[in-house]
Amino acid sequence: MGMKALDHESLNENVKKVQYAVRGELYLRASELQKEGKKIIFTNVGNPHALGQRPLTFPRQVVALCQAPFLLDDPNVGLLFPADAIASAKRYLSMTPGGLGAYSDSRGLPGIRKEVAEFIERRDGYSSDPELIFLTDGASKGVMQILNCIIRGQGDGVLVPVPQYPLYSATISLCGGSLVPYYLDESANWGLDVNNLRESVAQARFNGITVRAMVIINPGNPTGQCLSEANLREILNFCHQENLVLLGDEVYQQNIYQDERPFISARKVLMDMGQPISKEVQLVSFHTVSKGYWGECGQRGGYFEMTNIPPQTVDEIYKISSISLSPNVPAQIFMGLMVNPPKPGDISYEQYVRESKGILESLRRRARIMTDGFNSCKNVVCNFTEGAMYSFPQIRLPPKAIEAAKDAGKVPDIFYCLKLLEATGISTVPGSGFGQKEGVFHLRTTILPAEEDMPEIMSSFKKFNDEFMEQYEGVKM
């Protein structure tokens, strides 16, 4: 008997190639240190509730009632739950074929998909078809499903921004496709230049790759930039000319921290551009309950909306969804509540607005605190976090530091981030996990630590960084 089936040598190569730094080396080291008793500040993943952000009250009330419907019959339920939460729970339960414990339609409950379509219509001013909206266990599952549809083999390429959220690189790897990078311009606030896109596509085609899709992350992760309407038009025209499906990752659409560039959905711009392009460009848009001001990561709730995808293809995608039976029902209800929140006049409206505003305004302040904090550090340059949840400062490592990293057998930004972790307990993700220009180093941190902890975290970082720079530059500041 030779090698066993699950020996390392005989694993699927695509699995071996996958990298996902967000929970990679740094995170594992941080977890080890935490076990040893060190205080760790986890800023490696966009996980707001883990850093003290409280869940919004109303949705938790509604889902708790849906979870335990016997409460609805109890005369004392009004002592614990407001009337609108009770009504909402009854309404959502009536949409299900058997409460939270029954598989729903594989695309998600029709009633909730209708609410999502209505939300999209209010947001964009164009009607949306619930039949083309599929709820998923988190947006990531939707991304994986669509990419798996598009990628036939190594010859198929997907344009992905660099830096990117490594779900894309990991999934393309797993599907056996090719990642075609297009570089965002750090000096232009992580702007997207269509000429870069053209170059990337030309290069890929020269290498025999059929470029089939383009990913945009708007607002960006890790970079935070919000795309302008002009930029979106350019991108849509580009996709039209080059025959690309546009994958619009819009999970951070509620996280906007400046007023010059509010969020505009790719779909709205596409529709605004009119025919023929509005009927020809194929677009899949993704959203989630994990980000925004809800931050309900642990629920695993998301959706994708398809535009201009032929009916037969939609059927195939439906077929794949049906193998997983259905997305989890509690998260579907969270999604319904997110797109259809309390309205003026509702009992819970004021509390809902107060809680939401509180979170968003604080995130806006923290985005500023962090950006300024990084910019005050030696050899650190940081673009402003226009949106999303991250800060992605550039760390200008001195040559001696890069050498020391090599000697330690580590990629330079991993070397830096490990030292940062050991010295301060701040757990970040090295820029190499997201992709960056050769020889340019970054790290990603979230803006999620509690506001009152921010000043200390930033001064702790500054102390470490400035000492590190001193050490490796050999010159006193």
List the one residue from 237, 258, 308, 362 that touches another protein (CB under 8 A): 308
HEC string of 364-390 equals: HHHHHHHHHHHHCCCCEECCCCCECCE
* Complex with another protein: residue 27 or 392, whichever CB lies closer: 27
List the one residue from 113, 114, 141, 419 that touches another protein (CB under 8 A): 141
Site of tokens 């750090």: 186
Judged by CB under 8 A, the chain residues 240 through 259 that form the site for another protein are: 243-245
Judged by CB under 8 A, the chain residues 25 through 54 that form the site for another protein are: 45, 47-50, 52
List the one residue from 26, 41, 86, 100 that touches another protein (CB under 8 A): 100
Total of chain residues touching another protein, rule CB under 8 A: 100
Other beta carbons within 10 Å of 248? 27
Largest CA distance in the chain: 74
Residue 391: C-alpha distances to residues 140, 173, 215, 225, 376 (Å): 21, 26, 21, 11, 14
* Complex with another protein: residue 97 or 262, whichever CB lies closer: 97
* Complex with another protein: residue 171 or 385, whichever CB lies closer: 171
Question: Token pair for residue 275?
Answer: 């025919």
Q: Based on the shown chain and the rule CB under 8 A, indicate whether residue 55 belongs to the binding site for another protein.
A: yes
Question: Token pair for residue 92?
Answer: 């959502």
The strand pair at 245-249 and 283-288 is best described as parallel
- Binding-site string for another protein from residue 101 to residue 140, where x marks contact by CB under 8 A and - marks none: xxxx-x------------------------------xx-x
Q: Based on the shown chain and the rule CB under 8 A, indicate whether residue 300 belongs to the binding site for another protein.
A: yes
The CA-based angle 155-18-210, given to 5 degrees, is 15
- Binding-site string for another protein from residue 317 to residue 356, where x marks contact by CB under 8 A and - marks none: --xx-xxxxxxxxxx-------------------------
Residue 55 DSSP class: P
Span near another protein by CB under 8 A; candidates 62-70, 341-349, 411-419, 426-434: 62-70
Q: Based on the shown chain and the rule CB under 8 A, indicate whether residue 285 belongs to the binding site for another protein.
A: no
Min separation Cβ 187 and another protein, Å:
31
Residue 189 CA neighbour count, 13 Å, CB half: 12
Q: Based on the shown chain and the rule CB under 8 A, indicate whether residue 167 belongs to the binding site for another protein.
A: yes
Q: Is 24 helix (H, G, I), strand (E, B) or coil?
A: coil
Residue 289 phi, psi (nearest 5): -95, 0
Q: Based on the shown chain and the rule CB under 8 A, indicate whether residue 313 belongs to the binding site for another protein.
A: yes
Q: What is the number of residues in the chain?
A: 477
Span near another protein by CB under 8 A; candidates 199-207, 249-257, 293-301, 361-369: 293-301
Distance in angstroms (rounded) separating the CA atoms of residues 235 and 196: 11
Judged by CB under 8 A, the chain residues 8 through 27 that form the site for another protein are: 8, 10-16, 18-20, 22-24
| Segments of 218-270 assigned E as strands | 245-249
Span near another protein by CB under 8 A; candidates 64-72, 124-132, 344-352, 452-460: 64-72
